[in-house]
A and B are shown apart, each in its own frame.
Chain A
């Protein structure tokens, strides 16, 4: 890359040094905390390990990938990961948008609602999971007590595989909805009011205004929210660990939890690394598909 104007301009020549220096800390951080671990994970996915001290002791080519792909637990985790993604997108994106629209109306209690939502967002993921674990507890949990009060039977919130997946998603949505909501709220408040005034003069009703003005102008934020939610869903770990530990029957274990179990419970760092790389590939593919699908409509 050439910077002809900089080299010819003595006052900007210094930027050639200062510029790279300013981005150096961030670049170093990225290299050390993102790219280096990624490189190590990729290398490890081709290695064999001593199961006692987890030190590499040879190369196995694609052996780790073969064993992971043949493992029914991994296959199940793959599909569960996709289910988490779909459920979280379906629950979080519309809910966050709805909340953002409500907060944008500045109705009474808006500040309180905003504080509550951001409070959940700011809370520790582990603490939130522990709170929800208590809520979901059979016999003594808040939900079960409410059910009992209304004469309804006790529900196996965390002990039925399908229900447990939904419970994990609900807890995560409660915790994480604040960030996309903030993004949507910011975008809503950036929409020029005169567009709505003009639409009103043209006789547009509320639905038309939302569909024809709000939604198109929110599309960049929606894309961002979608990507963030997808990635958050793929990385879901703490709620699974605390609420179900992957059970029952591995029905709530996603690839992230599968990788953890391989590395820390089953002394298999090689398969753990291979599954991490596969999760990364899955995310790349999904993100590309999402980007293409949305770009074709919005040109983003």
Chain B
């Protein structure tokens, strides 16, 4: 997709109404300095205190309207203390711009992608919708979101960790704004390991300095046997997934793909099965067969299946299992560290890199707000988003929620990310993690593979199920060609 074809108003099928709107918008823009002196553009990009009524972070667009408007936000539900932080930010924005009312809708995290899809289909979506960087290709191809670089300064965007920024950028357009990240690595309960007299995973700062998948599997086995031998049937070696809506097959992008893509290698020959395993989808993003169902991928999911078959982890959803002290290890991230440090750790814990396969692989997925392309108030919406993402508001959010900032200057300003091994590892993982496979049909891919992964977890033959789902995904992606 070219840059010009992405821009709103330049869709291939131009209607008379679109042309008239375009003419009117152009005339409006040309006349704006004369008729609306208050909507002066910011003189320079970058930090803007003093240029607007409040600190709008990286926002460089026009001053906001004086007309009464309502901006709608749809995001995931957070715990009350985090909701309160966001509400305070809305209140501060509305206090500075009393003409702007903010309405918020909260949905369960796992339902966000579907909810975005439903809203877009309706033709009347909230101005800001919480998206994810793994759906960036679809946002761009469907022209669902506004390119954000037209409203945000270049240095603000450059400040975002490169893997996240690149995954959210399609054809030069920043189609969503990564705003927090939870690079995935391992948290372990030291008390359980001490009690069982088993060596815990290594506490290192390097993202590739951890155990191999075989070492982890052996460790899970040792822990499970020791727990059962002690009569403990409620504690598990590996906690049930808390990603997505929880349990097996919860969130392929963020969690289960680790088991698969660690078996690949981006540096292998491009026609090799190992390379394809890492890629997950063909270069054009339309073919999964030969990528998601390679022997290496099946081997990776066979490992994943073993953790369920051997009873290392529960086969259902167990909320807060690790936090409740009922699991020795969990896939987690900086969020766990920060929350434990803030609220008081319920037990001694440590952090270690994710299991290694052919490569040290982990994912970088970020919740990323988008601005709906159909919003009638693009500048005001961008300003609100930028306000929520200014330094002070981000610090407040991350302090309450515990996730890791996506901007380097924010991380650099937090000393614990330089001194605490558990967080140093997080920053190294964030720097070296990989984005999801890029396909305009990633939502279909994601929706198809999650149940397949769950089936495999619960006992279906990995290779057979992967072959089936690869065929299914090929069929689903065909409509995007």
Known: A249-B455, A261-B447. A52 touches B142 (CB 8 A): yes
Nearest neighbor of B480 in chain A, beta-carbon distance = A51
Q: Which of A50, A246, A267: most chain B Cβ within 10 A?
A: A267
Nearest neighbor of B118 in chain A, beta-carbon distance = A264
Asked if A79 CB lies within 8 Å of chain B CBs, one says no
How many interface residues does chain A have, given as a range?
20 to 34
Are A53 and B316 in contact, CB atoms less than 8 angstroms apart?
A: no
Asked if A95 CB lies within 8 Å of chain B CBs, one says no
Return the contact of A53 from the options B121, B317, B447, B458 (Cβ within 8 A): B121
Q: Which of A50, A51, A139: most chain B Cβ within 10 A?
A: A51
Are A248 and B454 in contact, CB atoms less than 8 angstroms apart?
A: yes
Asked if B26 CB lies within 8 Å of chain A CBs, one says no
Asked if A11 CB lies within 8 Å of chain B CBs, one says no
Set of chain A residues within 8 Å of B479, measured between Cβ atoms: 51, 267-268
Please give the number of chain B residues whose Cβ is less than 8 angstroms from any Cβ of chain A in the complex. Answer: 33
Nearest neighbor of A137 in chain B, beta-carbon distance = B316
A269 to B234, CA, bound (A): 44
Return the contact of A248 from the options B316, B317, B448, B458 (Cβ within 8 A): B458
Are B141 and A140 in contact, CB atoms less than 8 angstroms apart?
A: no
Are A138 and B316 in contact, CB atoms less than 8 angstroms apart?
A: yes
**Chain B 199-241 per-residue mask, 1 if CB under 8 angstroms from chain A, else 0:** 0000000000000000000000000000000000010000000
Nearest neighbor of B308 in chain A, beta-carbon distance = A159
Return the contact of A52 from the options B123, B138, B234, B476 (Cβ within 8 A): B138
A50 to B144, CA, bound (A): 12
Judged by DSSP, the binding face of A is loop
Set of chain B residues within 8 Å of A248, measured between Cβ atoms: 451, 454-455, 458, 460
Asked if A265 CB lies within 8 Å of chain B CBs, one says yes
Asked if B143 CB lies within 8 Å of chain A CBs, one says yes
A80 to chain B minimum Cβ distance, whole angstroms, is 15
Asked if A292 CB lies within 8 Å of chain B CBs, one says no
**Chain A 214-230 per-residue mask, 1 if CB under 8 angstroms from chain B, else 0:** 00000000000000000
Set of chain A residues within 8 Å of B459, measured between Cβ atoms: 159
Q: Which residues of A238-276 have CB atoms within 8 Å of chain B's CB atoms?
A: 245-250, 261, 264-269
Are A264 and B454 in contact, CB atoms less than 8 angstroms apart?
A: no
Are A159 and B458 in contact, CB atoms less than 8 angstroms apart?
A: yes
Asked if A162 CB lies within 8 Å of chain B CBs, one says no
Are B316 and A267 in contact, CB atoms less than 8 angstroms apart?
A: no
A51 to B475, CA, bound (A): 13
Are A139 and B141 in contact, CB atoms less than 8 angstroms apart?
A: no
Asked if B120 CB lies within 8 Å of chain A CBs, one says yes
Known: A140-B318, A159-B458, A265-B444. A249 touches B118 (CB 8 A): no
A34 to chain B minimum Cβ distance, whole angstroms, is 21
Asked if B314 CB lies within 8 Å of chain A CBs, one says yes
Are B455 and A52 in contact, CB atoms less than 8 angstroms apart?
A: no
Are B117 and A267 in contact, CB atoms less than 8 angstroms apart?
A: yes
B49 to chain A minimum Cβ distance, whole angstroms, is 38
Are B455 and A267 in contact, CB atoms less than 8 angstroms apart?
A: no
Are A139 and B117 in contact, CB atoms less than 8 angstroms apart?
A: no
Q: Which residues of A68-119 have CB atoms within 8 Å of chain B's CB atoms?
A: 73
**Chain A 11-54 per-residue mask, 1 if CB under 8 angstroms from chain B, else 0:** 00000000000000000000000000000000000000011111
Are B114 and A265 in contact, CB atoms less than 8 angstroms apart?
A: yes
Set of chain A residues within 8 Å of B65, measured between Cβ atoms: none
Return the contact of A265 from the options B120, B123, B143, B447 (Cβ within 8 A): B447
Set of chain B residues within 8 Å of A267, measured between Cβ atoms: 117, 441, 443-444, 476, 479
Instruction: List 22 contacting pairs A-B, 8 Å CB cutoff, sorted by A.
Output: A51-B444, A51-B480, A52-B141, A52-B143, A53-B120, A53-B142, A55-B123, A73-B472, A137-B316, A138-B315, A139-B315, A140-B314, A156-B458, A158-B316, A159-B315, A248-B460, A261-B447, A265-B114, A265-B444, A266-B447, A267-B117, A268-B479
The 6 closest A-B pairs by CB, nearest first: A52-B142, A265-B447, A54-B121, A159-B458, A137-B316, A248-B455
Interface residues of B (CB under 8 A from A): 114, 117-118, 120-121, 123, 138, 141-144, 234, 314-318, 441, 443-444, 447-448, 451, 454-455, 458-460, 465, 472, 476, 479-480
Given contacts A51-B444, A52-B143, 17 further A-B contacts (CB under 8 A): A52-B141, A53-B142, A138-B314, A139-B314, A139-B316, A140-B316, A141-B316, A159-B459, A245-B454, A248-B454, A248-B458, A249-B460, A261-B447, A265-B114, A265-B443, A265-B448, A266-B447
